[in-house]
A and B are shown apart, each in its own frame.
Chain A
Amino acid sequence: MEREQSALEKLEAKLKQLWREQGDAHVIAAKHTEFVVEPKIFLGNKLNPEVLKLLLMNYLAQSSRQDSGVGNIDVTPEKLTIKTPKGKPLVVVRDKNIIQQYLAKQG
Chain B
Amino acid sequence: MASEALVQKPVVRNIQAPLAKGAGAGHPAIELSAEAILEYVTGIERFKKGPHHQTFERRPIKAGAALAGNIPDIPIKKFTVKLEVHGPEIPAEYQPPIKTNTETRLQTLRMIALLSKGTKLYKDTVNALEEEQLLTQGAAA
Interface residues on B, range: 35 or more
A28 touches B115 (CB 8 A): no
Is B29 at the interface (CB under 8 A from chain A)?
yes
Within the complex, what minimum Cβ distance (angstroms) separates A1 from chain B? 21
Contact bitstring B46-77, A, C-beta under 8 A = 1, else 0: 00000001000000000000000010000000
Pick the residue among B100, B115, B120, B132 that contacts A8 (CB under 8 A). B132
Point out the residues of chain A lying under 8 angstroms from B96, CB to CB: 43-44
Point out the residues of chain B lying under 8 angstroms from A37, CB to CB: 14-18
Is B7 at the interface (CB under 8 A from chain A)?
no
Within the complex, what minimum Cβ distance (angstroms) separates B50 from chain A? 14
Contact bitstring B111-137, A, C-beta under 8 A = 1, else 0: 110111011110011011011100000
Known: A11-B112, A38-B14. A33 touches B34 (CB 8 A): yes
Nearest B residue (CB) for A55:
B115
A43 touches B34 (CB 8 A): no
Pick the residue among B14, B31, B128 that contacts A7 (CB under 8 A). B128
A8 touches B128 (CB 8 A): yes
Within the complex, what minimum Cβ distance (angstroms) separates B125 from chain A? 6
Pick the residue among B32, B111, B131 that contacts A47 (CB under 8 A). B111
Within the complex, what minimum Cβ distance (angstroms) separates A75 from chain B? 16
B124 touches A82 (CB 8 A): no
Pick the residue among B16, B115, B121 that contacts A11 (CB under 8 A). B121
Interface centre among A55, A56, A82 (most CB of B within 10 A): A55
Point out the residues of chain A lying under 8 angstroms from B18, CB to CB: 24, 26, 37
Interface centre among A6, A11, A46, A62 (most CB of B within 10 A): A11
B128 touches A15 (CB 8 A): no
Interface residues of B in 71-121 (CB under 8 A from A): 84, 96-102, 104-105, 108-112, 114-116, 118-121
- 14 A-B pairs, CB-CB below 8 angstroms? A7-B124, A10-B127, A11-B121, A11-B124, A14-B124, A28-B19, A35-B17, A37-B15, A37-B16, A38-B14, A39-B14, A44-B96, A58-B119, A59-B114
The 6 A-B residue pairs with the shortest CB-CB distance in the complex, in nearest-first order? A45-B105, A45-B104, A7-B127, A7-B131, A7-B128, A55-B115
